[in-house]
Structure 1
Amino acid sequence: MKRWREDLAAWAQSLRFSGFTVIVVVSVIGGALILSPNISTFVQQRREISQLRESVRQHREAVEAIDAERAQWRDPAYVRAQARDRLSYVLPGETQLSIIADIVLPAESDEETSADLTQVERNWAKDLATSLIAAGSAVPETPSEDEAARSDE
């Protein structure tokens, strides 16, 4: 360890600096100190510009997607297709088929299937009125004598 220090000291003593070398080194260090805040600001601004450009690109893509959707909604065929899909609308004279897949049949079944369509006749107004009457006339249960005696205790 001592040998290392002696070598370093010998090396430092062997260096010869001229006045010009000192001026250049001091000028370079001073220039770096003067320019470092400006360089930092420049790098930060470039980063912000990059982020803003990315934001603008994303917003342009969103606007293009909205414009494309708006153009679709101007097409009567698209509007008609959406009304059929979303609202289950049908044109006059058409019959709508609703498929309910709530029953899972085994792979091998002995049941016969029919190619004929069946139509279920149902009076929804009567069913609604019956449901309202049943809900309105439901009488709450009165507690039995045993339950009343327990609650008094």
Structure 2
Amino acid sequence: MAAKTAPPSGARAGATSRRTRDPAARRSVDVREWLGGIRLSGFMVIMMGLVVLAAFVLVPTIGTYVDQRQQIAAMEEAVTLTTDQVADLEAQRDRSRDPAYINTQARERLYYTKPGEVFYLVIDDLTAAQAPQEQADVSADVAQTPTDWMTQLVRSVTEAGLAQSATTPTIGVPDPAPSSGPSP
């Protein structure tokens, strides 16, 4: 019987160096061999399970935290606006407590007078030269019509109802040339 002998260590090293130098050999990876090289211990499995569990627990919590922070920022902005409105209302209240302001507002808005005063309200105090003239047309295309629109509407409806014949437009067919002579 012939005994198999192991190749010398130098020959084996040469074969390995040839494999690493060959680019085609590096591209093809045996997945079973690669996965077989990974050894998982019980501790690693437990730790990976804890990491996955922590991700499932923390992701919704972080989302809730971000939503709440956005709501808090929106409410703080609303409080700032309300504070500004309160400050404006307090300023108006302080003005309304001033007798000079009340007197001025009553005279200007409500036309109140003090006892013994005579108040004249002039409605049209401009002369004909000072009165604003009619403005020019905005453009040449848009102008005010010289007739009443209601009469134009009635005339248009009446003419449409009294028409002898109605023509329907045909798409793609040109209109016949009009004759120059009188029609019979």
Structure 2 length normalisation: TM-score? 0.44
Q: Distance in 1 between matches of 2:39 and 2:99?
A: 88
Alignment map for 1:1-153 (pairs within 5 Å): 10=29, 14=34, 17-19=38-40, 25-101=48-124, 105-106=128-129
Q: Deviations over 1:27-60 (max 9, x none)?
A: 4332211111211211121122112112211211
Q: Deviations over 1:74-126 (max 9, x none)?
A: 11110000001111012244443423248673459xxxxxxxxxxxxxxxxxx
Q: Choose 1 or 2 for highest CA Rg.
A: 2
| Worse overlay, 11-20 or 55-64 | 11-20
Q: Aligned AA for 1:38?
A: T
Query: Greater share of helix residues, 1 or 2?
Result: 1
RMSD value over aligned CA atoms? 3.3
* Aligned-residue offset at 1:10: 3.4
The structure, 1 or 2, with the larger RCO (C-alpha pairs under 8 Å, 6+ apart) is 1
Provide the identity percentage. Answer: 35
* Aligned-residue offset at 1:25: 4.6
Q: Aligned AA for 1:41?
A: T
Moved over 6 A (4+): none
- Aligned pairs, how many? 101
Q: Distance in 2 between matches of 1:53 and 1:23?
A: 44
Q: Distance in 1 between matches of 2:62 and 2:122?
A: 68
Structure 1 length normalisation: TM-score? 0.51
Q: Distance in 2 between matches of 1:11 and 1:45?
A: 50
Unaligned runs of 5+ in 2: 1-26, 132-184
Give the secondary structure class of the aligned counterpart of 1:88.
coil
Relative distance call for 1:104 and 1:26 in structure 2 (3 A) is farther
